[in-house]
Structure 1
Amino acid sequence: MREIKNVLSEDGKVMTCWIYIYADERYVRENGIPVPEGDWRKFMIDRGILHE
């Protein structure tokens, strides 16, 4: 499972990045979003969350 988070770089800059969450099955079933075709990038672009 992936989420977008703000992180602090070594030089003190705040950056937005994708992080992977290693979650148990129950957490994923309760909080996950199915990606029907399996193409995460296309899915996020179609939802307006990611830009090409």
Structure 2
Amino acid sequence: MNPIAIRTVQDTPENELLIRGLQDYVSAHEAFLSVSNEIISSVNTLVNISENL
């Protein structure tokens, strides 16, 4: 077993909840960045269109 798997097996329930919470935080952060990138792209497109008018 690798060290991470060994540590995870030895984790207490509280640590497991913390790990799950951090994983949820990372997932939410990735979703936020994805949406932010889409918004920035849309704004850039609008700026380009307005400059060409």
Bigger fraction of residues in strand: 1
Give the TM-score range, shorter chain.
Answer: under 0.3
Q: Give the TM-score normalised by structure 2.
A: 0.20
- Which of the pair is proportionally richer in helix? 2
